Structure formats: structure tokens, C-alpha cells
Amino acid sequence: MVEFYDYEGLGNIIDPESDTKQVFIPSPPTMTTVKTNPRSTILYITGGRIVEGYEKLEELKAYAEENKVVFVCPSSKDPEEVAETFNYIQSKYKVLNVKRDEIAVMGDADTMDDAQAVVDYLVDECDADIDDAEEFSL
Amino acid sequence: MWEKFEGDRNKNGIIVEDGRMIDITDPKWGHPDGRDFWDLDPKLNEGTAMLYSPSVPQEEKLAAGNARQASYMEQWWSTEHTCDVEKFEVPGCEEEPDTPVEVWVVKPKNLKKRKNRVLFYVVGGGLTGLNPNAYPIERMCEEHKCVGIVPIYRLSWQAQYPAAINDLHAAYKWMYNNADELGIHNDKVVISGSSTGGHLGLAAAFRLKRYGYSPRGIVVVSAQTDDREKDGDSLYTGMWDAVEQHDGLYNWLGRNFASNRVGPEALPNHATVEDCIGFPPTFMYQSEMDPDILQNVEFYTKLLKAHSFVEYHVYGGAHHSNGIWAVIKNCGEPNEYSTRASISFESNIEDCFKYDLRRPWVVEDYKAAFKKKFGE
């Protein structure tokens, strides 16, 4: 199953179901369920194209499930606003079950300049350790 | 007189009364996987020992030291490198502006186009030799995908404290101010080094803190942290023993040796807890038989009390240069034992790059607490 949901009004996330396991907490003795095998993230810069009803949404979901990757799709392509999404991932990476240091910034052919501007901003202003933007294709 | 000191030039004039030293030169003292080259003939070390021996005239030290440095440098520049290495002459720091410093910039092939991480690597060598060929600088830059900044600081027979600290300060300042030209991120700098490299890295961090610089972390191995000996440590004889450390630091500090009048910019454990507030995240790797092991522990506790992010790893059955460090500082042939230590060491460096472990709020909390207690 792949979930599609809004995050804090900043955009949408395509989130394949995480692996889980039961773990025992020794002190105090407790059984709890944790998510395992954190996924890498694609920060997908499209300018808000990825919404409910997007024509390729099912293909994206299938890609996410098959490649065990989470798409985080901000509504904005303004670097400063995308930075809020980046900070959201950094603070919620445990809940999202993603690797906070494995984020690839990607765009479509017509948003590659925006995606690279996002990379530059995140590297300069947000302590990000990320590579140059790449074009995403299904 | 302790029997092991007989015929050893470096121990001339050193008095050791009965029962005051422990001879650890027998490999039985070592961890079974780290006993290779547990002890070496002191004669092999005479070239180094004479450079800090109080009984050798200064002119003799200068001549021998310069010749040895020239051979190290010739070896370095004639060797084929896996990284691009460029030499710069940079201006002196505020405290010695008229003394330029040589700095090397090491760039591996796997860098990003800009804003790269930095490994500020301080080469070790007892403040008597600076041999870059002996340390895995290029391998580390490649593994961590970072630019290496290597200050060629002055050694004890060239200039005493604070010359080396001034040189590191100058190199750091130049790197910080030329970040764009160097293709680096000046807020992603990890200081590393071994032995004297660790000592100077930690000590220079106090200087850098005084000038408002905040390295991302400090990951060091076998750092000397104190020149003041204590009852209960500094009592063994063997590889890089208490006497060698004593003489090495004595040569560097001169009349300021074992003095409380110099602070942590000389030796880190001269710091008070207050000095340590706001100190960068620190990871220390030490050996059981490091001559100042107790002072190392003490320095660690000061960082703890100052609420810095700090880890302290001490290896039993290990001395300053035995097999446990075969990967981290190229001494001996790597095996599973030394690889284990290296994995931990390298992952600490990586963590400093990946996560911001600094705790700026601690400084603010202390200021607030101070104000509450004593008023504005």
C-alpha cells in the first residue's frame, strides 16, 4: 500500500508502507512496534503538480513502492519555501522513516533550473549535504 | 637507575628512583592482536629524540631538523598522489601577523563542484617532525569526500609555543575567509589529527573559540592533553613514554613547561570547565599507556561538565603507536583489530559532517544562569 497525504500544508508525500517489527524495551519492560529499513527521499520539485488527480500519480506510487523511496513534493518551487519542506524532513525523519542524509533533489525537464536553485539554497542556507539536482523520469 | 634507560640517549640525566617506573616493553602487556612492533629499539628513534633532548645544542637541532624536514618534503612532492595537492603561503594570524604560514590544500577527485566539506588535518610528530607521508590524509579526504587543509606549522626546534598554535590559527582563518575560492563550506570543518596533531587540534580549538570560529567537530587520536605529570600516570617506559612526552613538551614550552600560567591553547587540559563551555563536539581516541592518560580522562570530564558533545574511546593493552592504530595513523599492518577502531573513528568524522552536533544553546544557557545568579 502507498499512502498519499498532505504534510503541514507545504505539499504532498507519496509514502510506501514501511517495514515494521516488534521490539522489546528492557526498562521498563515494554513491547512496541517500530518502523525499520528507513527509505531514501526524492525531493521532487514540480511547482505543485503532484496533487490528487495528477495523471501520473499511480505510476509514481508504483515507482515509490518498487524502489522503496519516498517522494516529498512541495507545492512551491521557491527555494526559501522548499527549505521549510527540507527542515520538515530533517525534524520528522524518524516518523517518516526516511534517511535524513539521503535526499535527492529532482525535477522535471521544465523545472530543472528551479530544482538546482533549491539545491544551491539548501546547501548555502540549510546545512544540507546534497548533490546537484537530477531530472526525474519514470 | 631503571635498567631500560641504560644507553638510551634520550634518558640521559633523567632520574628514576626505585619503584617509580613500570617496564611495559614486553609484548605481554599488549592486546594480542596489537602486539606487532610493540617495542622498538630506542636507537631507531634517536633522530627524533635528539630534536627535543635538552642536552643537544639548538644549532645542532636546527641543522638536523631542517635536513630531516627537507627529506620528508622531498618524499612527499616526489610521490605520485591520488589527490591534487596545492601549496599556498597565507598571512599570519592576528597574534603574529608578520609570519606567513605554508598551507596545503588537498583535493580528491570525488568532490562536488562547490561547498565541499573540509578536513582540517594536523600532522603529528611530537612537535619535532612533520611527516605528511606517514598519515592517511589523502585516503581520508577521498573517503569523506572533503577538501583537506594541512597547515605546515612550526616545530619546537624552530619556534616555541605559541608559534604552532598561531600557524594553525592563520591557516584556519585563511581557509574560512577564502571558502568560495577553495570550493568549501566554511561551516563544515572537522579538525582531525594524531598525537601532536590531536594535541594541537584540540589546543587550537580553544584559540579558534576565542576568535569566534566554530568547527563542526574534532576527532583526534592519541592527543597529548597535558604537560603536568600526576602521581599514578606517566610511570611506564616503552614506546612514546612519559620521558619522551616530557622532553617533547619541555622543548616546546621552555620555561612555561608544567606551568599553570599558560592556558588550554598550550595544552587542552589546562582548561577550566568554564573554558570548555561552547567547545566543539569532540571525539577522543586514546591508549591505555598514553603517558597522560589520566589527564586525558580529566579533560574529557571537563567537556562533559561543560555539556559539550563528547565521546572518549580508550583502548586497553595499547600504547601510543601500536597496532590498534594501524589504519587510523598508518602504524603497522592493518588487521581486524585496527580496522574495528578505524571504522569507529571514521564514522565519528562522518557524523560531524552529516549532523550538526554543536550545542550553541549551552553558551546561552550559561549566560542566562550567570545573569540570574549575579545580575546584569
Q: Which residues of B287-323 are buried (b: 16+ CB within 10 A; e: fewer)?
A: bbbbbbbbbbbebbebbeebbbbbbbeebebbbbbbb
CB contact under 8 A, B112 and A127: no
Please state the pTM of the whole predicted model.
Answer: 0.91
What does the alpha-carbon distance between residue B239 and residue B323 come to, in Å, rounded to a whole number?
A: 12
CB contact under 8 A, A123 and B188: no
How many beta-carbon pairs below 8 A join chains A and B? 15
For B60-99, write each residue's pLDDT tens digit.
Answer: 999 999 999 999 999 999 999 999 999 999 999 999 999 9
Residues of B within an 8 Å Cβ radius of A: 112-115, 117, 185, 187-188, 353-354, 356
List chain A residues with CB under 8 Å of B113.
132
Amino acid, single-letter form, for residue B31:
H
Q: Which of B115, B117, B354 sits opposite A101 (nearest CB)?
A: B354
Chain B nearest-CA distance from A103, in A, is 12
Query: Given this model, what pLDDT does residue B9 score?
Result: 52
CB contact under 8 A, A129 and B117: yes
A59 touches chain B (CB under 8 A): no
Nearest chain B alpha carbon to A90: B355
Query: Given this model, what pLDDT does residue B191 score?
Result: 98
Nearest chain B alpha carbon to A129: B354
For B22-72, write each residue's pLDDT tens digit.
Answer: 888 899 999 999 988 888 887 777 888 889 888 889 999 999 999 999 999
Q: Which of A101, A127, A131 sits opposite B112 (nearest CB)?
A: A131
Nearest chain B alpha carbon to A121: B115
A58 touches chain B (CB under 8 A): no
| Paired sense of beta strands B116-122 and B22-23, if any | unpaired
Q: How many of the other CB atoms lie within 10 Å of CB of B37?
A: 16
Q: Which of B112, B114, B356 sits opposite A127 (nearest CB)?
A: B356
What does the alpha-carbon distance between residue B131 and residue B263 come to, in Å, rounded to a whole number?
A: 27
What does the alpha-carbon distance between residue B274 and residue B263 come to, in Å, rounded to a whole number?
A: 12
The mean per-residue pLDDT over the stretch A2-23 comes to: 96
A8 touches chain B (CB under 8 A): no
Q: Is the pLDDT of residue B18 over 80?
A: no
Q: Among A24-33, A59-68, B133-142, B213-222, where is mean pLDDT lowest?
A: A24-33
Query: Given this model, what pLDDT does residue A31 score?
Result: 92
A6 touches chain B (CB under 8 A): no
The mean per-residue pLDDT over the stretch B234-258 comes to: 89
For A68-93, write each residue's pLDDT tens digit.
Answer: 999 999 999 999 999 999 999 999 99
CB contact under 8 A, A132 and B112: yes
Grid cell digits, residue B40: 622498538
Q: In the block, which residue shows the cell 619541555?
A: B250
What does the alpha-carbon distance between residue B240 and residue B266 come to, in Å, rounded to a whole number?
A: 20
A129 touches chain B (CB under 8 A): yes
What does the alpha-carbon distance between residue A106 and residue A71 come to, in Å, rounded to a whole number?
A: 10
CB contact under 8 A, A129 and B187: no
Q: How confident is the model at residue B230 (pLDDT cuts 50, 70, 90)?
A: confident
What does the alpha-carbon distance between residue A92 and residue A94 come to, in Å, rounded to a whole number?
A: 5
Query: Given this model, what pLDDT does residue B6 score?
Result: 56
Query: Given this model, what pLDDT does residue B40 score?
Result: 83
- Cβ contacts of B134-140, under 8 Å, gap ≥ 24: B134/B329, B134/B330, B135/B194, B135/B197, B135/B329, B135/B330, B136/B327, B136/B328, B136/B329, B136/B330, B137/B106, B138/B81, B138/B82, B138/B83, B138/B106, B138/B108, B140/B192, B140/B346, B140/B349
Domains of chain B, each with CATH number or no CATH? 3-18+28-374 (3.40.50.1820)
Yes or no: say if B329 and B195 are a contact pair by the CB < 8 Å rule.
yes
For A79-134, write each residue's pLDDT tens digit.
Answer: 999 999 999 999 999 999 999 989 999 999 999 999 999 999 999 888 888 999 99
What does the alpha-carbon distance between residue B332 and residue B341 come to, in Å, rounded to a whole number?
A: 14
Query: Given this model, what pLDDT does residue B15 score?
Result: 80
- Between B111 and A28, where is the model more confident? B111
Amino acid, single-letter form, for residue B40:
L
CB contact under 8 A, A129 and B188: yes
B375: left (phi over 0), alpha (psi -120 to 50) or beta: left
List chain B residues with CB under 8 Å of A101.
354
Yes or no: say if B341 and B322 are a contact pair by the CB < 8 Å rule.
no
Chain A nearest-CA distance from B365, in A, is 23
Query: Given this model, what pLDDT does residue A20 score?
Result: 95
CB contact under 8 A, B185 and A123: yes
Q: Is the pLDDT of residue A64 over 70?
A: yes
Mean pLDDT of chain B: 93
Q: Is the pLDDT of residue B359 over 70?
A: yes
Query: Given this model, what pLDDT does residue A16 score?
Result: 97
Q: Which of B114, B115, B146, B358 is the mutation pick for testing A, counting most A CBs within 10 A? A: B115
Q: How confident is the model at residue B1 (pLDDT cuts 50, 70, 90)?
A: very low
A131 touches chain B (CB under 8 A): yes
For B168-216, write each residue's pLDDT tens digit.
Answer: 999 999 999 999 999 999 999 999 999 999 999 999 999 999 999 999 9
List chain B residues with CB under 8 Å of A89.
none
What does the alpha-carbon distance between residue B202 and residue B191 come to, in Å, rounded to a whole number?
A: 8
